[in-house]
Amino acid sequence: MPVTSEGGDMERSAKLNQIEETLRYLDMPLKQLEDDAIAQDRLRKVLDSVHGVDTQLLQKIHGVYINWLHSADGKLTSDALWVQLVRFAVLLETHPHGEQLRSSATQDLLASTLAPASVPSKTTFCDHSRQQAFVIQLFDAVFGIESTRAMTKRLGVLIDYVRRAMKDYEFVFLRHVAEELMRHVHATRPKLPAASMVKELTQFVNGLPPRQWEKQASELSIAVLLLTAVGSDNSNVQKTLSRVCDYVASGISSQEALPHVHSHLAILASCLEPFASSHTTTPSCSVLQLFLCYRTMNLVFASPKLLVSEEESKRRWSNLHTSVQIAARTDPTTRSTILAMIEAYATEVTSAFQRQMDWYSALLSEFKEKSGGDSKPVLRPSLLALQDSLPAPSVFPVRAYLAVAYDVLLRTCNALSEIDSAVLLRCFSVMTKLEFARELLANPAHNAQMVDLTMQVESLVDTAPNSTLSTLSHLVLAPTVNQELSPALDVVSGWTTLTVGLLFQRKLRVILFQASETIRQDVLAVVFAGLGHGLEPLDEFANRFLLFCVSSLTTFLSIYSVFPHYLQVTLIQFPDDIGNDRVANVLGTIFGALYYTQDEESESRRQQMIVWGMRQIRTRTIELLSVKKEEHDASTRASGLYLTELFLEIVKLAPLVLLPTVAREMETLVEATASDSELLKQVKHRVLEAISQNCEAEKRAWFAAWFLELDAQYPVVSTVSESPPTSRL
């Protein structure tokens, strides 16, 4: 027995000498200690062995720490040393003899000692590796000592420091650290005071009334994350987590469809994914999973570094659509919440590209690159000119983001669309908002799924035409809050308009024979929304559709409701966005229909509309011919002269009763060019040529007499100066 006692004393003495030697070595200025990795490692070893020593040795270590805390003056630069300070504070709370050394001074110093600047903060919110390392080091510092003492204070230290580190970017932080912390806790669980931790955390969560959850969302979310990691197999823990999950899902349902990333609901949801993913058939968990999916996907809006890859998306949410479908089928409230959420998500995606001009510029660049090898570009001159005036394209990963975002949304909509017709139509509307993404990505699988969804909606048009067509029209005609872009230069909404318009074209028979007059006017408004658009396929579609309306559908659609806007937009686009062939085709079709349409109600109205149309052409012609020489090039004048020829061809075909009126229109054109002798000469030549060829005899005679008066009234004055007299010398 004496031998044993002597051996124990010798062992204790050796440990004491070793620790004292280390402490003497560490008796250096704080700044030097912070820069000395070897010293910090020795300090860590001291703390590893100090739990069994007596008060005397603990006092010496305590003295060293007090000096450091005073020297730090609330500022440290070393992460490792700061973590050691936390470890020592925990040691004082848990050591059998620590009570004698604990003092308010020590605790106050520790509380006022801020974490080093290198600890994660909002300025480094993309650095997930630093965030993970911080949380794990802090967790080990607090719970690395196998003791159940002071559990409330220890959890308080951990929660408080994590709360401070993640301030103002809680959702991002918790999404980054949750998975890694779960793995670390599971690996170290045999050494943890797990039962005591579970008890304390459960009491904290359950003891906090829901009315306080909004104010203390950060603390509560950290506690929930720790509780999930430590007590996942505890039935009481499961009930507690289920309660929090129900609260978040209920909040999403009763408030906005997609709460902001800084909202207390988002913060609380951020740490619940492990629980929600293991309870996929529960409506609340399905709502929560979908919310986390969409919120995490759009973190990239804060920084491209937060982009969710396709691999990560499939790993995290590959089975999401199944749980969403089950929940939506069984619970109408959940179905309504999910539909509202996917609609809000689609709007958030489209609005991001419409509002951020550098992102929009990047999107235009992607479309330009995609159609670079095509004979017919997707972007018209007006959009190309806009791109030149926009900020430089952003580094935003347009294709990578849209590939994942579109895939996640499409899988969700496909799962929901099978439930009933109302859900089908809302899902189609959602996917149509992201049609620009599908066109850019050109993914065969996505294309096939969208074709299938479209065919289902077309069947719905057959069975319920008015309600279905009204909903689809609203997609295009609903007022937008975006003020950055002209509608004619918005490719995001442009692809939506084209998709809806093409569906209308395929269901034209239903529209003409089964839809109400109001619906037909809405359909026409959708087509007009595409006319003159900077998106080439959309403008082509609208022009083709309207030509067909003017030439073949005047029995169903009054020409007076179609041609005025059609004519004006066509003239505005010429010559910058459309060529000679198109303007000739449109003008010829419109006036051909006007001349040969039988207006049973009022012949005078028909004549008024003919004259109004002619004045529109004459006005645009004068605009093109009257541009100052320094502001135009030869092509502008050539376009004006070409439009002059079209105008004259249309005028000479007018009914006899309108000849005096149309003659005044021609005279106005000639008068506008009288100040430019060369231009006047060219215009008068074209007038004479037009009335002399392919003109009815009676009209030709009338125009001939009129032209003689016109020629005399507007003579061409020669600009060539007289030659000087010849010298006699």
If pLDDT is split at 50, 70 and 90, which confidence band does 719 have? low
* pLDDT tens digit sequence for 308-358: 988 888 888 878 888 888 888 888 888 899 999 999 999 999 999 999 999
Helices 536-552 and 491-506 sit at what angle, rounded to 10 degrees?
Answer: 30
Q: With 60 as the cut, is the pLDDT of residue 630 above it?
A: no
Which amino acid is residue 590, in one-letter code? I
Q: With 70 as the cut, is the pLDDT of residue 77 above it?
A: no
**pLDDT computed for residue 48 by the predictor:** 62
344-347 contacts at long range (C-beta below 8 A, 24 or more positions apart): 344/256, 344/257, 344/258, 345/258, 345/294, 345/297, 345/298, 345/409, 346/409, 346/430, 346/431, 346/433, 346/434, 347/433
Q: Which of 116, 27, 101 is nearest to 67 (CA)?
A: 27
**pLDDT computed for residue 616 by the predictor:** 98
Cβ proximity of 161 and 138 under 8 Å: yes
pTM: 0.85
Q: With 80 as the cut, is the pLDDT of residue 83 above it?
A: no
Over its C-alpha atoms, the chain yields an Rg (Å, rounded) of 39
Cβ proximity of 647 and 617 under 8 Å: yes
Quote the tokens at residue 253.
């349902």
**pLDDT computed for residue 726 by the predictor:** 43
* pLDDT tens digit sequence for 493-530: 999 999 999 999 999 999 999 999 999 999 999 999 99
Strand partners, 235: none
Quote the tokens at residue 242.
């289920």
Q: Which of 405, 404, 423 is nearest to 414 (CA)?
A: 423
Mean pLDDT, residues 161-183:
90
Q: With 60 as the cut, is the pLDDT of residue 631 above it?
A: no
Q: With 60 as the cut, is the pLDDT of residue 455 above it?
A: yes
**Portion of the chain with pLDDT greater than 70, in percent:** 82
Q: With 60 as the cut, is the pLDDT of residue 721 above it?
A: no
**pLDDT computed for residue 295 by the predictor:** 94
Span of 45-59, 265-279, 568-582 with lowest mean pLDDT: 45-59
Got the DSSP string for 306-335?
A: GPPPHHHHHHHHTTHHHHHHHHHHH-HHHH
Q: With 90 as the cut, is the pLDDT of residue 583 above it?
A: yes
Among 29-38, 170-179, 196-205, 610-619, the range of highest mean pLDDT: 610-619
The whole-angstrom separation of Cα 116 and Cα 292 is 31
**pLDDT computed for residue 126 by the predictor:** 83
The whole-angstrom separation of Cα 587 and Cα 570 is 9
Q: With 60 as the cut, is the pLDDT of residue 573 above it?
A: yes
Q: With 80 as the cut, is the pLDDT of residue 488 above it?
A: yes
If pLDDT is split at 50, 70 and 90, which confidence band does 3 have? very low
The whole-angstrom separation of Cα 645 and Cα 641 is 6
Instruction: Enumerate the H helices of 73-103 as residue ranges.
Output: 79-94
Collapsing DSSP to helix, strand or coil, 379 comes out as: strand
Q: Which of 714, 583, 587, 712 is nearest to 653 (CA)?
A: 587
**pLDDT computed for residue 231 by the predictor:** 82
Q: With 90 as the cut, is the pLDDT of residue 421 above it?
A: no
Q: With 90 as the cut, is the pLDDT of residue 33 above it?
A: no
For the chain, what are the domain ranges?
566-712
Mean pLDDT, residues 625-640:
75
**pLDDT computed for residue 404 by the predictor:** 94
Helices 491-506 and 357-370 sit at what angle, rounded to 10 degrees?
Answer: 50
The whole-angstrom separation of Cα 608 and Cα 612 is 6
Which amino acid is residue 564, in one-letter code? P
Among 94-98, 102-106, 420-424, 453-457, the range of highest mean pLDDT: 453-457
**pLDDT computed for residue 138 by the predictor:** 87
DSSP H/E element including 194: helix 194-207
- DSSP annotation of 696 reads -
Which amino acid is residue 674, in one-letter code? A
* pLDDT tens digit sequence for 658-668: 999 999 999 99
The phi and psi torsions of 23 (rounded to 5 degrees) equal -65, -35
* pLDDT tens digit sequence for 634-656: 788 899 999 999 999 999 999 99
Q: What is the mean pLDDT of the chain?
A: 85
